[in-house]
Every structure is written in structure tokens, then in C-alpha cells.
Amino acid sequence: MARTKRIKPETLFFPKKLMEKLDSVRHYPLTLVEAPSGFGKTTALRHFFDAQVSDAAQVLWYTFPAEHPNTSWKAFCGLVNTFDPGTAERLTATGPPDEDTIPELHGIFRELNCPEETYLVLDDFATWKLPNHGEFLAALSVHGGKGLHVVVASQPLPEEAQNVLLPNNRFLLLQESVLTFSRRDIDAYYREAGISLTGMQLEEVEKVTEGWIMALYLQLLSFIESGRFEEGGMRNLIHKALWNQLPKQERKLLLAISIFPCFSLVQATVMSGMSAVQTERFLREKRVFIHFDREARRFYLHPLFQSFLSEQFTLLPEAKQKAIYLAGGYLAEQAGDRVNTIRFYYLSGAWEHLLSLPLTSYEIADVADENTKPMILDIMEHTPFEMKRKYPAAMVPLAFTLFLLHENQRLLAFKEEIQQVIVQSDLPQTQKDALAGEMELLLSFLEYNRIDAMNKRHRKALELLNGSATLINIKSTWTFGSPSVLYMLYRESGKLSEELTQMDECMPIYYTLTGGHGSGAEIIMRAEAHLMQGNPDEAEILCHKAMFTADSKRQNSIYQCGLFLLARIAILRGGRSYVAKRHVVVGGTFPPKHRGFMPLYAGPGSRLSGLATGTERQASLLDFRR
């Protein structure tokens, strides 16, 4: 093996052609760097921003974690908030990208303001579970920020996304050919690392790696160790060239931190048993496989390496796996990472730690999805009664999660046990009553849409709580996307007047319990009834009253119902042209699930039908003129 100078296996090398291509991001509102894992997208972009972008420019970097999509949307809005708080607020109110919100996001992005040179880097973008990544990027590419350049690094996106993303003067696409090393690049890289290859060796390594930087790096390690290049797939290469060469202590650390989507130096130090200086040195030395996000002060494992470590982790004895999860749960709890705290404590088998957490219904809601449903059900079904009795406060939030997961029958099956847990707990009677009151409030949702039955539960809950409940987050939607309260709660023909009276009696109790959640609901329902009965003037008056009431408590879902009703009244009075003149409906006003109704009123070509997409456009063919 020929050596030109001291061996430096961790050398980073960036071909000139690659840096020239990356320099083009300055001239485009949005750039997508798209290539399979291991092509060096993140490392190359980090080097570009460090070496070729002015220190005066702002570089905002976000790496998408494999967590709930809403978490990433909040983070994205937070980044936008650093240069345009008004737009960030509108994005937050609109909600994550989907078929319904994309048209509104498109309009919001057009009005975005960012005069100063700013680079917004969205790394590992494909990890973000969106219905259509392409639609979102297409909308983002039309942003109005004169100084803003969005740079997206992603593994190959689904075909439907690629069909939407056609390069133009606002969108630059850089794919794997830009990141692939030529034979000349390989030679320069290996020489920089201290290895001089013959012509035949260069031909061989180019053939086995196809210019893929991750494979080139691993083959470099193999060549340094054995004087030859390895054959086989990437996992085999990682195992032989890297994993087998690591000391036992370093392997233990990597396996331990592999359970985290990302981790801090403090967490890695605790897991390693080494000093912070030693731990950081080790992590920095492995920079090809471990990336450091300077903005978030977090380390990320390369996806290929994370996948490899996950496989190795499953080979550990079960007791060792549980011990690592237990330590991870403690570290996640210390960091305020509630999602991973719950997940790790669950996987460790130390459910008592999980149940002892100060859980709230909306925190568990951030964890709850189809992937975590088995975990929630397992905890509810298999936690011993005595342990539940010891931590009764955890039972109601967990039960609320069953409601969110549409497991109402399971919730009803657990009802008696939860009530017994509360009764037999060692809590003072006032706390027992409070938990029983929270449970009554939860059970009231299962009475939907029988207003009198819900009211009965609310009254009992208030009697037990003697004040407000903690179950409901006032920021959550009251209508669950419905544009009409009447549609939700008008139950029986001929009983509308009775049901309106029941609403007048029910809602003040509910407001006391929840701090005003759904304020204005009974007023908007009565306004809708007036319209249906042919009294548009009365309906309009009550509509404004309901909207004022809703706005006083920032109850957007009720406010939207008011706007929707005003649109209906305007159309009935003057048709589509009247609506257009009065600007009753402003693009961006309606939340996702309301928008699907708009074309039914608007007809094709109107301001309203412009809010529709997909099947909603088909609905707009139901022309209002008939």
C-alpha cells in the first residue's frame, strides 16, 4: 500500500464541481438536494455554508426527526418566526401541509417577508411524513422573501412528488449526479487522506463504490486496515470496515445513543461513562456518521448508521436493552422530551416511572397515533391494578388518549376499573373527587350528540371538581373541523327548539369547566337555526355576537363557523358576484376541514372555489346557479 503522507481517515473532501453547483443556491428561492442516504448531502451543505456564505448571512438549520408530523410543523413555524413573526403566526394557525391547507399555505408563502440574506435549511426532509412533499415544496418555492433561500436536503421523494417538482427560475434541483465522485475526485480524496492508489486500484474502487462517498469512506477504512477493498453490501461494509475496528466501550456508547432520534452531549456523556471531553472528541471524530447541529446543539446519527445500529441493538440481551431504555427514559425526562420519555419508559418495562410522570391529556395526545396505539392499549390492559391504584392521576389522561384514538369501546370497557382505581387510591377525598370529575367530563364526550346527557355529565363533573378541569386544552378545536354547530348537534326532527334551550343550559357549565372552550357555540347554533327558518337578519345579528364571543376566548373553530354562516347569508342575498364584491370570504380564513364545503356554495371560478383542491374541485361543479 502506497502512502503519500500521514494517514487521516476522517478527512473531508469536497470536489470543486460540487461546490460550484451548491453556490447556485444563492440565486434560487428554493433548492432541493435529492439523493439516497450516504451521498454526503448534509456534510457538503455544512461545508458550503461554513466556507462560502458570508458570516453576515443568517443560516437556520432544521433536521427532521422521525416523530409526529405536528412536531416538525411547529419547528418549521418557529424557524420562520425568526425573520417573519406575522407569517409564522398565520402558518401556525393554518396547520400542517395537507390537501386542504396547501392552497392557503401557497398564499401565505407568497406574502412572506425576508429582506435580509437568509438560508433556511430543511435537512432529511423525506422523514417528514407529508401527504405530498412535492405540493408543499412547490408552494414554498413561490415565497415572497427577497433575501430568503430555502435549501432542502432529502432522500429521493415519492414519484408523485417528483412529478410536481419541475425545475424553473424559482426552483433548483440537484440530484445524486452532482454528489457522485469522479475517478479524479476519488484520487484527490484518497491522497488528501494519505493514500495513493494505482490506476487499477482507482478503477476497482470506482467500480465497487460507484462514486458514493459513504462507500468510499468505508472502503478507505478497509484499505487502511487490510490493504484491499471489501466486497458486499453496505451493512457488511459498515460491519467489517468500521464496527469491528471500534473498541468495546465505543460500541457500547453507539448502541446506547442509537435509541435517540437525536441527542445532546450531556446525554451521550451519561451513556458513555466517559468524561464530556472524551465523549465529544469521539463523536467529533466520527463526523462522517455523526452530524452535529450547531443551532439545536444536538447530534444526529447518519440514517444508514442508525439503521445498522438498530439491528445491532436487537442482538443485545433483553435485560441490556431494557436497561438502556430505562437510562434513556431518565435522560429524556431530564431534557423535557415527553414523547421519548414515555416511549423509553414503556420499552424498558418500568411502567411505574411512566405512570408517575405528571401527565396531561394534550401531552399524551402528542404521542398518540396509530403507531403508539398498541403501547397505550398495552399499558391500560396489562398494568397491575395495584400499580394503577398507586398512580390514579395517570389514568384519566391515558383514558382520554383512547378517545382520541377512536377506541371508545375500549374506553367504556375500562370505565369501571378506572373509577375503582380512583375510589381505592390513597389520595385525599378532594383529589379523588377532582379525578372523578375529570372522568365525568371525559365520559361526556361519549354521550355526543345528546345535549341533555352531556349536560348531565358536565354538571356532575363541576360538582365534583368545584372549578375548572385540566383535561381540555382551550387551544384545541371545539368543532373537530365541522363548519356548522347545528350540523353537529341538531339530533331529532321537531326538537330543534328544545335542543337550542338545552344548549343554552349546557354551555355555561362547560365553559366553567374548560375556561371558555367553544365560547359562542350555542349562539352560532341559534343563528344557524334562524337562517334555516328564513330569518337571515336575525341570523346575521347573532352570528356577529357569536364571533365576538368566540374571539374573546380565541376560539377559532367557532369563529370560523360564524364566517361560514356569513358567507351563506351573503350568497343567499346576492349570489357569487355579491360575495366577491363584499369580500365576505378571504383566502386563508377557513381551516382545513371547512374548505371542502366551500365549492358547494361558490360554483366554478369564484373566490371560494379557489380554496378547493382535488376532489373538492369536482364538488365545485355543483353550480350554485341552479
DSSP state for residue 25 in the 8-state scheme: G
- Asked whether 522 and 488 are in contact (CB, 8 A), the reply is no
Q: Give mean pLDDT, residues 215-223.
A: 91
Q: Which of 69-83, 393-407, 517-531 has the highest mean pLDDT?
A: 517-531
Q: Are 193 and 220 in contact (CB under 8 A)?
A: yes
pLDDT for the residue numbered 459: 97
| pLDDT: which is higher, 365 or 579 | 365
Q: Output the CA angle 383-384-390, nearest 5 degrees.
A: 95
Give the other-Cβ count within 10 Å of 33's Cβ.
27
Cβ contacts of 64 within 8 Å, gap of 6 or more: 72, 122, 123, 124, 125, 127, 128
Tell me how far CA of residue 490 lies from CA of 317, 385, 449, in angstroms.
58, 41, 8
Which residues does 577 contact at the CB level (< 8 Å), separation at least 6?
none
Residue 531 scores a pLDDT above 90: yes
State the pLDDT at residue 401.
87
The type of residue at 562 is G
pLDDT at 443: 96
The pLDDT assigned to 578 comes to: 53
Greater confidence (570 vs 580) lies with 570
Is residue 12 a contact partner of residue 43, using CB atoms and an 8 Å limit?
Answer: yes
Give me the pLDDT at residue 431, please: 96
- The number of beta carbons lying within 10 Å of the beta carbon of residue 361 is 23
* Stretch among 56-70, 420-434, 439-453, 605-619 having the lowest mean pLDDT: 605-619
Range from 349-358, 476-485, 517-526, 549-558 that averages highest in pLDDT: 517-526
Question: Each residue of 334-344: pLDDT tens digit?
Answer: 998 888 899 99
CB 226 within 8 Å of CB 269: no
For the segment 151-172, what is each residue's pLDDT rounded down to a tens digit? 999 999 888 787 777 778 899 9
DSSP 425: S
pLDDT of residue 586: 40
Helix (H, G, I), strand (E, B) or coil at 78: helix
**pLDDT number for residue 605:** 43
Give the pLDDT confidence of 442-462 residue by residue, as tens digits.
999 999 999 999 999 999 999
User: Is there a contact between 3 and 125 (Cβ–Cβ < 8 Å)?
Assistant: no
Please tell me whether residue 294 adopts helix, strand or coil conformation.
coil
Cell of 90: 398565520
Question: How many alpha carbons lie under 13 Å from residue 449 in its C-beta half-sphere?
Answer: 11
pLDDT score of 595 more than 70: no
pLDDT of residue 371: 67
Q: Cell numbers 361526556 label which residue?
A: 444
pLDDT, one tens digit per residue, over 66-95 is 777 778 899 999 999 999 999 999 999 888
The pLDDT-based confidence of 145 (bands split at 50, 70, 90) is: very high
Question: Alpha carbon 621 to chain centroid distance?
Answer: 34
CA dist 500 and 60 (Å) reads 52
Is the pLDDT at 626 greater than 50, yes or no? no
The band of 575, judged by pLDDT with boundaries at 50, 70 and 90, is: low
| Percent of residues in the chain assigned helix, strand, coil, to nearest 5 | 60, 5, 35
Dmax (CA) for the chain in angstroms is 93
**Of the candidates 534, 488, 525, which has an alpha carbon nearest to the alpha carbon of residue 504?**
525
- How far is the C-alpha of 133 from the C-alpha of 130, rounded, in Å? 6
- Average pLDDT taken over every residue of the chain: 87
Residue-wise DSSP of 138-196 = HHHTT---TTEEEEEEESPPPHHHHHH---BTTEEEE-HHHHPPPHHHHHHHHHHTTEE
The pLDDT value given to residue 617: 29
The reply to whether omega before 556 is within 30° of 0 (cis) is no
Q: How far apart are CA 309 and CA 315, in angstroms?
A: 10
Residues of the chain with pLDDT > 90: what percent?
A: 63
CB-CB neighbours of 540 under 10 Å: 19
Question: DSSP states of 97-150 as a string?
Answer: -STTTHHHHHHHHHT----S-EEEEEETGGGS--S-HHHHHHHHTT---TTEEE
Domain boundaries, the chain: 16-178, 183-245, 358-471, 478-581
Query: If pLDDT is split at 50, 70 and 90, which confidence band does 589 have?
Result: very low
Q: What's the angle, vertex CA 212, arms to CA 208 and CA 215, rounded to 5? A: 65
8 A C-beta contact, residue 138 and residue 168: no
C-alpha 155/C-alpha 581 separation (Å) is 47
- In this structure, what C-alpha cell is assigned to residue 186? 476519488
Topology adopted by domain 16-178:
Rossmann fold (3.40.50)
Number of CB atoms found within 10 A of residue 192's CB: 14
Q: Which residues, 6+ apart, have CB-to-CB distance to 541 below 8 Å?
A: 527
Element at 34 (helix H, strand E): strand 30-34
For residue 5, with 0-12 CB atoms within 10 Å meaning exposed, 13-18 middle and 19 or more buried, which class applies?
exposed
Q: Which of 499, 549, 540, 502 is nearest to 521 (CA)?
A: 549
